[in-house]
A and B are shown apart, each in its own frame.
With several copies, the nearest count.
Chain A
Amino acid sequence: MKQADFPILNQTINGQRMIYLDNAATSQKPKQVIDAMTHYYQVDNANVHRGIYDLSERATAAYEASRDKVQAFIHAKYRKEIVFTRGTTESINWLASTYGVAHVTADDDIVISYMEHHSNIVPWQQLAQKTGAKLKYVNLNSDGTLDMSDLAQKITDQTKIVSIAHASNVLGVVNPIQEIANIAHQHGAIMIADGAQSAPHMVVDVQALGVDFFAFSGHKMMGPTGIGVLYGRLSLLEQMTPAQFGGEMIERVSLTGATFKPVPWRFEAGTPNIAGAIGLGAAIDYLTAYGMTQIENDERQLVAYALPKLLAISGLTVYGPQDSAYHTGVIAFNLAGIHAHDLATALDQEGIEVRAGHHCAQPLMTKLNLSATARISVYSYNTMTEIDRLISVLEQIKEYFSHEFA
Chain B
Amino acid sequence: MSLHNLDNLYRQSVMAYAKHPRHYRPVATTDCNQATKYNPTCGDTITISVELSGDLITDIHFYGDGCAISKASASMMTDLVIGKDKAEIQQLMDNFLKMTMGEQVDTDTLGEAQLLAGVTKFPTRIKCATLPWHTLQALLFSKEEAK
Tell me the A residues contacting B by CB distance below 8 Å. Answer: 14-16, 49-53, 56-57, 80, 250-252, 261-262, 339-342, 345-346, 349-351, 356-358, 362, 365, 371-372, 393, 396-397, 400-401, 404-405
Contact = CB atoms under 8 A, between A and B. Distances in A.
B38 interface: yes
A405 B15 contact: yes
Given A350-B2, A397-B3, A339 B68 contact: yes
Given A339-B68, A357-B43, A358-B42, A405 B124 contact: no
B5 interface: yes
Contact of A345 (B6, B40, B44): B6
Nearest to B64: A371
B65 interface: yes
Given A14-B5, A51-B124, A80 B45 contact: no
Given A56-B124, A358-B43, A405-B12, 8 more contacts: A250-B40, A252-B38, A342-B10, A345-B124, A356-B42, A396-B1, A401-B10, A401-B15
Given A356-B42, A397-B3, A405-B19, A342 B67 contact: yes
25 contacts: A14-B5, A52-B124, A56-B124, A80-B147, A252-B38, A261-B40, A262-B147, A339-B66, A339-B68, A340-B67, A341-B66, A341-B125, A341-B128, A345-B9, A346-B6, A350-B1, A356-B42, A357-B42, A358-B43, A362-B43, A371-B43, A396-B3, A400-B6, A401-B10, A404-B10
Contacts of B44: 341, 371-372
A30 B66 CA distance: 37
B147 A341 contact: no
Nearest to A405: B15
Chain A contact surface mostly? mixed
Interface string B1-40: 1110110011010011001000000000000000000101
Contacts, number: 88
Contacts of A14: 2, 5
Nearest to B16: A405
Interface string B37-73: 0101111110000000000000000000111110000
Contact of B6 (A16, A49, A349, A356): A349
- Most chain A CB within 10 A, of B1, B3, B69, B147, is at B3
A252 to B, nearest CB: 6
B13 to A, nearest CB: 9
Given A349-B2, A371-B65, A404-B15, A50 B45 contact: no
Given A80-B147, A250-B40, A371-B65, A405 B10 contact: yes
A139 B44 CA distance: 25
Contacts of A345: 6, 9, 122, 124-125
Interface residues of B, number: 29
A400 B2 CA distance: 11
A254 to B, nearest CB: 12
A1 to B, nearest CB: 27
Nearest to A265: B40
Nearest to B1: A396
Contacts of A251: 38, 40
Contacts of A16: 2
A-B pairs with lowest CB-CB distance, top 8: A405-B15, A341-B67, A339-B67, A52-B124, A358-B43, A357-B42, A371-B65, A251-B40
B102 interface: no
B111 interface: no
Contacts of B67: 339-342, 372
A49 B147 CA distance: 14
B5 A349 contact: yes
A342 B43 contact: no
A45 to B, nearest CB: 17
Contacts of A53: 124
Contacts of B40: 250-252, 261
A346 B125 contact: no
Contacts of A341: 42, 44, 66-67, 69, 125, 128
